Amino acid sequence: MKKNLTSRLSRSLRSITLIPCLWLALLPAPSALAQVTTDTLTTTQLADTTKAGVPVVTLDPALQKGALRKRLIAPAIFIGAGLLMIDNGLYDRHDVRYDLRTKAFPNFKSDIDDFLIFAPTVGLVALDIFSSQNQHNVTRQVGLLVASSAVASAMLWPLKQATNVPRPNGENDYSFPSGHTTYAFVIATMVSREFKGKSKWIGIASYTAAGTTGMMRVLNDAHWFSDVLAGAGVGILSTNLVYLAHDRWFKNKGLNKDWRADVVPTVMFNGSPGVGLVFHLN
């Protein structure tokens, strides 16, 4: 009697243990089946689209999930750091001014920052002329630049009025953020986005020129370092927002497919070597 009872208990325990195991083994089956079905449908749709003669349009990286979040991270950090550095008990704009300006370069004075702000613009024009790898044609670039500058101004001037930070040299108020730095980073971000397919060093060079503009404003005692940080953030943010809106609303409008220009070596009429500018029109 005891033996039969033990046997029944053993079988019951095995059944109780086996049933959950079977369920766990079967649970992945529906998701796997759904995945196979989805892949099959996707393949069929792509095949049908290709057969119909309609090109398959891949989603631009700027429109993929999380693209807006990624584009907001850097400018949010710059603007947030600038706001925090206005006044705090650890290390604020006054401490940075003492370290960078008062102690290191007390007599520094230069007007180069008034010209260096245009360096990314000169680079953009030169690359448009000597390279065919810009993302948009020149007409569309002008529109994007005007829109980015307008968005930057719409953020810049209210911030100046709201914060009302006096300049370090005491000339006037409304120091935060730096206008020179904002517009320099607007153009630098545009250059980086237009020629991201050509070389990463183009973006690095444009951002370096914009960053140098901001540092010169600090050394000239025209702006606090917090102004420069926030200006960089506003410039990057405004251009990224305009490009994202353009890609979403206008899709592939204005892409650089209508013309391109190449610089080629040539021989002049007198036999001397030279270079020629060749325009390719489609």
Domain count, the chain: 1
CA distance 62 to 85: 31
The CATH number that applies at residue 132 is 1.20.144
277 or 25, higher pLDDT:
277
81 or 281, higher pLDDT:
81
Q: What is the mean pLDDT of residues 270-282?
A: 52
5 is a domain residue = no
22 is a domain residue = no
Is 33's pLDDT higher than 50?
no
Cβ neighbours of 10 (radius 10 Å): 10
Average pLDDT, rounded, for the chain:
74
274 is a domain residue = no
Q: Tell me: the pLDDT tens digits for 206-250?
A: 999 999 999 999 999 999 999 999 999 999 999 999 998 888 887
147 is a domain residue = yes
Q: Tell me: the pLDDT tens digits for 137-169?
A: 788 888 899 999 999 999 999 999 999 999 998
What one-letter code names the amino acid at 70?
A: K
- Scored b (16 or more CB within 10 A) or e, 88-117 reads eeeebbbebbeebbeeeeeeeeeeebeebb
198 is a domain residue = yes
202 is a domain residue = yes
Residue 216's domain comprises 69-250
Is 17's pLDDT higher than 50?
no
Query: Scanning the structure block, which residue is given the tokens 């693209």?
Result: 67
87 is a domain residue = yes
188 or 89, higher pLDDT:
188
58 is a domain residue = no
Is 268's pLDDT higher than 70?
no
Distances (CA, A) of 71 to 7, 180, 203, 233, 241: 66, 22, 15, 11, 8
